[in-house]
Amino acid sequence: MIKAKLRKKILKLRDELSSHDRETEDALIHDAVMNVIRDRAVDTVLIYVSFRTEVDTHGIIDTCINSGIRVAVPRVEQREIVFYYIDSQSDLERGYMGIPEPTEGCVPVSAGSCSSLIIAPGSVFDRNGNRIGYGGGYYDRFISRNPDIYSIGLAYSCQIVDSIPEDEWDRPLDMVITGEAIYQ
C-alpha cells in the first residue's frame, strides 16, 4: 500500500511538469545516457519506448540507431517482456496497454549474444537504484534472469525520493539518470 500511494503521488508530480522542464531534462538525460553507452562500449541497448509522461526515449532510440548501435524494445508476452530488435521507430505499433511495441516481423534478442545494457522505466526511484515500476514486475523479473546486463533507470528529478520500501522480488538498478544527477 505504501508503494501504491508513493507511485500515485510521484506520477502526479511527473504529469504536472511543464513542457519546458520536461524538454530540458529530456535533453540532459539523453546526453548522459549516450555518454554511458559510449563509455561502456555497448553494442545493443534494450530500451522501453516512452509513453505518456515518461522520460522521452524516442531521441535515444534514434541516436543509437543512427550511430550503429542495435536497439531492442520490449513486447509483453504473457507475464514476461521479450526484447526485439528494431531498425527504426516505424517498426513499432500500439501494443499492451497502448504502449508502443515491436511489430510481428521483428527478430527477438537471444540471451548473451551482445554487449548490452537495459534502460528500464519506472514511476519512482531512489538514490540507491531502487525503483517502483507500474506494478507488473516485468522488469524486476527480466533483470533477475539477466543479472549481468547493466541496468539504468531514467527519471525526472521530481521522481527521486530518499528511499523506497523494498520487497524481496525487487531488483535495484546499477544507475539512475536524471537531468540533475547520476546515481550509482
Tens of pLDDT, residues 59-95:
999 999 999 999 999 999 998 999 999 999 999 999 9
pLDDT per residue as tens digits for the range 151-177: 999 999 999 999 998 888 888 999 999
- Give the residue carrying C-alpha cell 525503483: 131
Burial 153-172 (b: 16+ CB within 10 A, else e): bbbbebbbeeebeeeeebbb
Average pLDDT over residues 13-23: 98
Average pLDDT (32-40) is 97
User: In the 3-class helix/strand/coil scheme, how is 95-112 assigned residue by residue?
Assistant: CHHHCEEECCCCCECCCC
pLDDT of residue 111: 65
> If you search the block for the grid coordinates 520490449, which residue do you land on?
74
Sheet order of strands, 160-161 included:
131-132, 124-126, 160-161
- Closest by Cα among 83, 118, 120 to 102: 83
Could you tell me the pTM of the whole model? 0.94
Residue 153: which of 130, 117, 115, 121 has the closest Cα?
A: 121
- Write out pLDDT tens, residues 96-146: 889 999 999 999 998 665 678 999 999 999 999 999 999 889 999 999 999
pLDDT at residue number 169 = 83
Q: pLDDT confidence of 14, banded at 50, 70, 90?
A: very high
Degrees (nearest 5) of the Cα angle 86, 54, 109? 25
